[in-house]
Structure 1
């Protein structure tokens, strides 16, 4: 067993004191290697948590004799003379990151994501782990791991420990509901939050039961929603083995419609991950390698399908109405069509590139979102399978097959496994779908509109009302009274004369001051634009391009003349009358 001990002396410094003790067999010949994870499951980029580590010391646990060691990489240490010893490692960890993947310490709480802070001994990852926490006597501990005694958590291996965030606080609230005969715990940290518990628990129970009905069983024995409701605007969620951390704010607006819908959406999304990525895991992550990138081509399944179901199941469980669901779908559409990146990178390659720049804006038009396009391709696949089989089969069947074949067995799946199961459920070859929309960059508009018609809906295109973007192809933002170009559509009039970061100061001799759109809407045959570019004044001529439209806005709407077959399809898909 590996023993971990976490305490803190002065929470105002944000430093935790961490110890771990490892028993090294006498016959060991290689140095004892201690590795701190460089990334965390749920965010597929290197985050280099070793930046938060201070003052590492190694000693013999019995004699307290210091042991020589050598740091061999940015987050790996080796102890050469460890054979037959109980080795103690001491270090400080800086817990000052308040998001769903972070850790935080102050006078009011300890919030810890162990994957950030705990080293593991190479070769000992499969041994049981025990984590002891030194907490004030009036603090309450929330975590998905079992407690063998107060503030002592037990994990069957390092993976389980690393994947078990915890919150300890004197003010944390707790409520519970049952779904499918299983306990679901809702923890709330945040004194500003006023929770309508009856409404929240009823809504959570509804979408939990819908997910359990979809898959037929649950991979874990209980589940914990660990909520940090913050006094400022924030939105983030991360999935774990039998829990999720959700950071959301501002807390005082929690039960207002705009923020409450975000809470429902992220909570339903993260619960779905309990099956889709925690149980149904890509082969490349069986097991996790915490020291380096774990490249995989299937994040469009892990995140894209989950993004689709996260909102869709809220409608299917009647927590949200179809109109509310379409509002969220339209946000996904807007985000997907917000730039031209989808023309240049496939979903499968974007899955790989999460490790490169997937969570950053990146250079213009380089990439596509596995979340947004992944959700739209999931919708397309679901409606296609439903059309082929009169709604007797759907994407639900694909997910159940993945769970039965891989989630329940502990085997990892590949993109070939997924494509095979899709074809078997669809009852026909689906190679065109994968060639065009998963491994290719074909546009989605026409096939998505055709599929939506089968359930009495359509994809509607609206011209961009912004003159700068819709007519000329550039987007701006006002910063400190400066109008700066932030994005330019490829092939647009703006692409011929403007560049990102240009500051637009005048148009046809008129100063630009919150009046850009009106100055570009006079119907002039030519617009002389004065810009500061790298602090140099440049005059360029912007020519309107007849009949060209950039930044088209797409929405999903019901058909006004839907027939009975389409209305029936709508009901079978969403569970609501048309």
Structure 2
């Protein structure tokens, strides 16, 4: 509704900012960091009358399960503007109601945190890596207020964050709660590398114990990854404050993780920036940077806005995470981190093998796998499950379908998945408002755009029905052949039980993990926690002894197996299967012909696109 003229004149007459709400003010200090504690103070001012509902988040952006961050908060107190102690009540496990305030509430608490990753808070005497939902309390009804955060830093610590710094105040600013909660912050002795790309500042703020030369080499690879990612979409996003930050923690006490955010990413790993660890860490860099487009700005409607009070379910994680999984590895190839052979081994073999060998992928669609995220995305449960037979991560099922779609578009429609991603970006990612996508997408939008890019709406409809809403498996042997790639058994002709065994050398037995549908032990009626005692009359003295025993047989051989089950000790017959492990290799490795057309197809797909 248009504002009446009188009100407009009054607003123009007021000093700039007079109509703005007072910011929520946070102060975070670390007087007992050696014992993993932070002291947090939050000041809520200019409040309406009535109880203030202060809460800790139950979930976190980029995570879909519940994590109940209130469990690590204690010593909670509240006072008003005069220092008068206020009454606190606990209406639920997630927060506190503060009554009797005078328009101001000063809320203080101790936070414990000793897990450095993208979900929790990790605090010790050398650093603090803070996921904000795990760290800062908020108040219901105050979500649209800006926030100012001040960190009381131990000597030698600096701040790395996507929050906007205010040097005059010594604070860090967020325009509202959604942005605040999306802003991971690392505190410590930062080593910073900063550069310009397309008029934006890209920076790496790193905590690690390696050398400056190692960080420089790692940064050089990251620069190439940034260029290749931008080439896919045709541009970098317009970062809200002109800056994108890799908030990286590579200390020994760190848990491996990567978590995307709007203008930054949280990167955590105990692997060093050298050797194989550096390549693994670069894989996370590439995946998370691609998220600056896909999921942060190209965002599914069912995740916007993010709800901190519940588990967040989406139908589209196969696209948001799965397509990003495909592109993260592809970026490493295009940036020159991988060779063709390494890309096949490290990326394609995993995607294809998981898709074709997973019982779950043959039963449930990518959409249904996406809906499982609240139960599997770092979710905690103690009861056994049957996910080995019913689930394949939306990272893999989405990534495998991205690979299949890229091959189909290149072979049949003279276009690419890159073109598809650019079209989705233009229609549902580039336009932003209030630090959020102006037009978050639906499944119907993704199908429609595929029809536009391929110029074949029937194909788009069929692909979604069969592979996204349905669970038809792609024919990877046919799809990868034009690129001169072969899908084959990695251990052809080798006999296998197709089961995970845990050996007990004390009594020469092996406990069985959950058995997979169709596997030899499943077919023979064995299941989790059954214990193998003898195979073909031999005791299971070591993993190597079992390997040697199986190597002496071929697929189809029938062996007697003695095992202990919940019903006692039994003997049955088990028919060995061929080891199902798949690999993707180049025709050159497979010693097959390689045509000029194959070389061109592969080069068009895998070589760098950055100018």
**Corresponding position of 1:50:** 70
RMSD: 2.5
**Corresponding position of 1:558:** 587
How far, CA to CA, are the matches of 2:500 and 2:71 in structure 1?
A: 37
Q: Is residue 450–residue 458 contact of structure 1 (8 Å, CA) maintained in 2?
A: no
How far, CA to CA, are the matches of 1:273 and 1:42 in structure 2?
A: 10
Change (3 A) 1:111 1:480: farther
Q: Is residue 36–residue 50 contact of structure 1 (8 Å, CA) maintained in 2?
A: yes
Please give the TM-score of this superposition, normalised by the length of structure 1: 0.90
Q: Is residue 39–residue 46 contact of structure 1 (8 Å, CA) maintained in 2?
A: yes
**Corresponding position of 1:540:** 571
Question: What whole-Å deviation, never above 9, does each CA across 1:133-166 have from its counterpart, x for those lacking one?
Answer: 1112432222222221375211111122111122
Secondary structure, counterpart of 1:147 in structure 2: strand
Structure 1 residues 136-285: aligned runs within 5 Å: 136-149=154-167, 151-169=170-188, 171-192=189-210, 195-215=213-233, 216-220=235-239, 221-231=242-252, 235-251=256-272, 254-256=273-275, 258-285=276-303
CA drift of 1:397 comes to: 2.0
How far, CA to CA, are the matches of 1:387 and 1:421 in structure 2?
A: 18
Q: In the alignment, is residue 386 of structure 1 matched against residue 410 of structure 2?
A: yes
**Corresponding position of 1:289:** 307
Change (3 A) 1:151 1:108: farther
Change (3 A) 1:266 1:497: same
CA drift of 1:415 comes to: 1.2
Q: Is residue 345–residue 440 contact of structure 1 (8 Å, CA) maintained in 2?
A: yes
Secondary structure, counterpart of 1:488 in structure 2: coil
How far, CA to CA, are the matches of 1:468 and 1:484 in structure 2?
A: 16
CA drift of 1:421 comes to: 0.9
Change (3 A) 1:442 1:549: farther
Change (3 A) 1:437 1:52: same
Question: What whole-Å deviation, never above 9, does each CA across 1:467-502 have from its counterpart, x for those lacking one?
Answer: 333xxx433233565422124232343222321222
How far, CA to CA, are the matches of 1:268 and 1:224 in structure 2?
A: 13
**Corresponding position of 2:141:** 123
Change (3 A) 1:152 1:59: same
Q: In the alignment, is residue 432 of structure 1 matched against residue 465 of structure 2?
A: no
CA drift of 1:523 comes to: 4.8
Out of 297-306 and 344-353, give the one that drifted further: 344-353
**Corresponding position of 1:504:** 532
Change (3 A) 1:523 1:280: closer
Match of 1:421 among 449, 454, 457: 449
Q: Is residue 109–residue 168 contact of structure 1 (8 Å, CA) maintained in 2?
A: yes
How far, CA to CA, are the matches of 1:317 and 1:245 in structure 2?
A: 21
**Corresponding position of 1:2:** 24
Q: Is residue 114–residue 162 contact of structure 1 (8 Å, CA) maintained in 2?
A: yes
CA drift of 1:354 comes to: 0.5
How far, CA to CA, are the matches of 2:344 and 2:406 in structure 1?
A: 16
CA drift of 1:283 comes to: 0.8
**Corresponding position of 2:370:** 351
Q: Is residue 116–residue 254 contact of structure 2 (8 Å, CA) maintained in 1?
A: no
How far, CA to CA, are the matches of 2:152 and 2:608 in structure 1?
A: 51
**Corresponding position of 1:67:** 86
Question: What whole-Å deviation, never above 9, does each CA across 1:96-153 have from its counterpart, x for those lacking one?
Answer: 1122322122111222111211122212212110001111243222222222137521
**Corresponding position of 1:491:** 518
**Corresponding position of 1:459:** 487
CA drift of 1:337 comes to: 4.8
How far, CA to CA, are the matches of 2:126 and 2:253 in structure 1?
A: 17
Change (3 A) 1:234 1:59: closer
Change (3 A) 1:180 1:362: farther
Q: Is residue 528–residue 539 contact of structure 1 (8 Å, CA) maintained in 2?
A: no
Secondary structure, counterpart of 2:120 in structure 1: coil
Secondary structure, counterpart of 2:324 in structure 1: helix
Question: What whole-Å deviation, never above 9, does each CA across 1:308-353 have from its counterpart, x for those lacking one?
Answer: 1101022223333222211222133344455422122211011111
Match of 2:599 among 554, 567, 571: 567
